[in-house]
Amino acid sequence: MKHECVPIGDGAVDKETVLVHRKSVPFKPINPDDYERVLKENEQLKQTNEILLDENSVNRALIMVLFLPLLGANYVSYA
């Protein structure tokens, strides 16, 4: 911050404004219980995402099996 301004968004913010805000917001250490909860939630979301990706693949394959012959039949009838 040697130039007395910090570029933010469209313009610049005065250095003193940033320093005043920094001093007014207290530092909050990480709660280990909250951190563990977030880690567990993240792991659960990863598992759910994996399940949904698998289901999506099955659905896509089923759609291809059902509709690809129909599209092929329509294409052949026009030729």
Rounded to whole angstroms, the Cα distance separating 26 from 29 reads 10
Write the pLDDT tens digit of every residue in 28-38: 788 999 999 99
* φ, ψ at 26 (rounded to 5°): -70, 150
**Which residue type sits at 16?**
E
pLDDT in tens, 30-70: 899 999 999 999 999 999 999 999 999 999 999 888 888 77
Instruction: State what percent of residues in the chain have pLDDT above 90.
Output: 34
